[in-house]
Amino acid sequence: MKIKFLKAENGDSILISFLDNDGNPRNILIDGGTEATYFSRTKRAGFLKKEIEEIKLRGEVIDLLVLSHIDNDHIEGLLKWFELDNEASDKISEVWFNSGKAIAKYLKEPKNEDLSLFLKIGSNVFTGVDEGIEFENFLRKHKLVKDGVIKKNFRWEGFGLTIQVLTPTDKQLKKLLKLYHKETGDLAYTSRKEKDWGKNISDLIFEESQPSFKFKQDDSEKNGSSISSLITFKGKKFLLLADSHPKTVIKSLEELGYSKTNPVEVEFMQVSHHGSKANNNKEIFDLIETNNYIVSTNSSAHGHPHKSTIARIVAKNPSATIHFNYEFVHDNILTVKDKTDYPELKLKSISEVDIN
């Protein structure tokens, strides 16, 4: 099994390729990153486009496409694929996507038209297109819609692989449905926050050890609605957290029998929300036993990854290996003092993981 963490700018796009129990090649695509992950405005093919073209050349398909949630840095690349490739629908076997209509039907509430992902004329996704294209309508048109919702406790087995969904909960789906009754203007990342990379890991660990420290969790309904999962393949586990909220993930893991004294052992964990300090508390790292932490971002938005998240990983595991899919982050996030204080801490650049 190869798991590729595609360069998706400040977003996520993960391609899992493997042979099933019968030796047939399978591909699972989780998220599509930003628009440029597929094709940029400067007409340059992105990593997602290159991978999809390779899949086509091998005569294979995307056996499962998962859109974890509707933030632009996860969905734009998929929408760009659908726009530019007339064969896209023929290359997708199944889709997991919690649409507004599906959530409303599941919760037995009126559907919210604003949740249908209608991208208005002139949006930054479809440059030059006269009218927007709805993600859900594309799926319905090509009969790719899956009945029901993908939520906590959903367990899927196929191709010799098991996916245990950890989030979202019913409460998080309900919050997402209500969100779009508001005029949020939050369809794209527009804010940029200063990086905290100049801070030393030891200082951050000390600050968070004080009684006055309070963890403030991300309050984004969209992030909270993320499909996060614990995946098992040939007895080995790995954790993909999308932009999920830590407290909900912790509760799901605890209900599966994991605890600080009995942590879930995984080959690696994808750190939530590109290493945001509001999506990764100390407690979540206590429940996960691994030496490999993966952070997907080019650090072009929101100051991600936050140094506080790196400090929490180091506090748990001073000899951890933290993998980044962009060299800029790998090369610049540590201070000179960090390197002296934590000589066993390893930073690596990553493009793919092999699980045998």
In a domain, 107, yes or no: yes
Cα atoms in the Cβ-side hemisphere of radius 13 Å centred on 243: 29
Same domain, 208 and 345: yes
Same domain, 230 and 331: yes
Same domain, 138 and 218: no
Same domain, 82 and 143: yes
Nearest to 146 by CA among 82, 92, 75, 88: 92
Q: Could you say which of 108, 123, 150 is where a domain stops?
A: 150
CA distance 137 to 116: 8
In a domain, 116, yes or no: yes
Please give the tally of structural domains in the chain: 2
Same domain, 146 and 207: no
Same domain, 221 and 310: yes
In a domain, 195, yes or no: no
Residue 255 near residue 274, CB atoms below 8 Å: no
**326: containing domain:** 201-354
- How many CB atoms are located within 10 Å of the residue 156 CB? 15
CA distances from residue 314 to 31, 113, 294, 309, 321 in whole angstroms, order as listed: 28, 44, 14, 9, 9
CA distance 333 to 12: 20
Triad 59, 64, 66: Cα angle to 5°: 135
Per-position pLDDT tens, the chain of length 356 = 999 999 999 999 999 999 999 999 999 999 999 999 999 988 899 999 999 999 999 999 999 999 998 888 998 899 899 989 999 999 999 999 887 677 778 877 665 554 444 333 333 333 222 222 346 777 878 888 777 899 999 999 999 999 999 999 999 988 877 764 443 333 322 334 578 999 999 999 999 999 999 999 999 888 999 999 999 999 999 999 999 999 999 999 999 999 999 999 999 999 999 999 999 999 999 999 999 999 999 999 888 999 999 999 999 999 999 999 999 999 999 999 999 999 999 999 988 999 88
Same domain, 205 and 350: yes
Same domain, 33 and 110: yes
H-type alpha helices, 180-245: 201-209, 221-224
In a domain, 178, yes or no: no
In a domain, 167, yes or no: no
Nearest to 150 by CA among 103, 108, 98: 98
Same domain, 97 and 209: no
CA distance 57 to 336: 47
Q: Read off the pTM.
A: 0.90
